[in-house]
Amino acid sequence: MTPDYNTLLLAIGLSGFCLSATLFASWLSARVERFLLSWAIGIGIIVAAVGVYSLYVENAGIGITCLAFVLQFGGFAFIYGAAYRFRTSRRGRWRIAAVFLASSAVSIPWIPFGLDGVALIALNLVIAATLVATAWEYWLGRAEAPLPLTGIVTLYVLVATSFVLCAGVLLEQRQWSIGHAPDNWAENLNLIAAILGITGIGAMSLALNQWRIAGAHQRTAMTDALTGLLNRRALFDRYGEETVFAHRAAIAFDLDNFKAVNDQYGHAAGDAVLKCFAEVLVEACGTGVCIARLGGEEFVVVMDRAVLDRVARVAERIRADFAARLIPIGKGSINCTVSAGIAFGSDTGLSFDALLSNADKALYTSKHNGRNRVSLAA
């Protein structure tokens, strides 16, 4: 092997070590995104594999060859597991084990029979397939962060292509048994692609982690902690500056006698009632509807493409479903009711504040007329 080849191996080892340490430190700082830990472990194993491979270059014995293969398969299996965990938030231990065992079974048995060239062809193809599978996991989750994830997928595919080229050269030259590390243009290209891949994928993975953290903070700021619905801030961020026309409606809800529930049964019971009503809202409204908790026992539903019959039907279903619910409280259960008010935008347009104000007026009409009913704003 040329000095340049050994230099490239050293560059891969150093860049991989730095990336593994950075990823581990990023995970250690919060211990939330565990895909970073899997990534760090995978890259760390790859660094060890590079070290063993440099020994294999000098002396391609059976033992050192098998160890170099095993470490590479383990490292890339963990990298695949990190992608799976990123997309699904599941551990994926069985997938990591399956990738590792399948890769080893396809490649390593050829080595004791002196067919190390065949083993190297299998190794390159198996690693390429693992990298493509890793890219596919990120591609499936690209909606979360399209730009960095598209970049990560592209780099994984490019590195996978370099491994396919390595296998292709060995196949073309019919090198079934070579007795030493392969030395050709594809191997050099593969090392360069690996350096670019480690550097680029590492940088984008760290950016992706920051993107996810920022998104989590934003969701926390926009979500009501008790019910999981949008909060007042999120509602007004979405609609506060818009002019509301006749196709949009708001339904204001207020739980009846909620203070009495807190006074008689305690705040834990009150929280249970609020969460139960939030569940009723989600079940009744389905998708494409904005549901928010304004604060306390006040909620609002905003509907687009709204017609009176549909909006009234949804409001009435929510009222009836909630009144029929038995809410577990300690060793018993209670019933609660809710009052609602419906308001529509106008043909000439009005502010979102005005829409909510009209819905509140209709809500107070329901309260005044005996509660547990739905009223329409004038």
- For the stretch 18-30, pLDDT in tens is 767 666 766 666 5
Position with higher pLDDT, 275 vs 25: 275
- Examine the pLDDT at 36 and tell me if it is beyond 60: yes
**244 within 8 A of 351, measured Cβ to Cβ:** yes
Q: What is the DSSP string of 249-274?
A: EEEEEEETTHHHHHHHH-HHHHHHHH
Domain boundary assignment for the chain: 3-220, 232-376
Q: Which fold has domain 3-220?
A: Rhopdopsin 7-helix transmembrane proteins (1.20.1070)
pLDDT given at position 312: 93
Strands of 249-255's sheet in order across = 290-295, 298-303, 249-255, 338-344, 374-376
pLDDT given at position 225: 85
Distance between CA atoms of residues 238 and 278, nearest Å: 20
pLDDT given at position 13: 66
Phi, psi of 333 (to 5 degrees): -155, 160
* pLDDT confidence band for 203 (50 / 70 / 90): confident
- Helix (H) / strand (E) containing 313: helix 308-324
* pLDDT confidence band for 186 (50 / 70 / 90): confident
pLDDT given at position 339: 96
Burial of 223 (0-12, 13-18, 19+ CB in 10 A): middle
**For the residues 357-364, what does the mean pLDDT come to?**
95
pLDDT given at position 2: 47
Distance between CA atoms of residues 126 and 104, nearest Å: 9
pTM score: 0.62
Position with higher pLDDT, 357 vs 56: 357
pLDDT given at position 4: 61
- Examine the pLDDT at 12 and tell me if it is beyond 80: no
Q: Which of 33, 137, 187, 297 is catalytic?
A: 297
Distance between CA atoms of residues 201 and 300, nearest Å: 44
- Examine the pLDDT at 135 and tell me if it is beyond 60: yes
- What number of other Cβ atoms are within 10 A of residue 278's Cβ? 18
**For the residues 194-208, what does the mean pLDDT come to?**
75
CATH superfamily of the domain spanning 232-376: Reverse transcriptase/Diguanylate cyclase domain (3.30.70.270)
On average, the pLDDT of the chain sits at: 86
Residue with token string 């150093």: 14
Q: Among 32-41, 217-226, 288-297, 319-328, which stretch is predicted with the lowest mean pLDDT?
A: 32-41
Distance between CA atoms of residues 351 and 345, nearest Å: 8
Q: What percent of the chain has pLDDT over 70?
A: 89
Known catalytic residue at 298: no
Is 294 in a helix, a strand, or coil?
Answer: strand
Position with higher pLDDT, 210 vs 42: 42
Write the DSSP symbol of residue 226: T
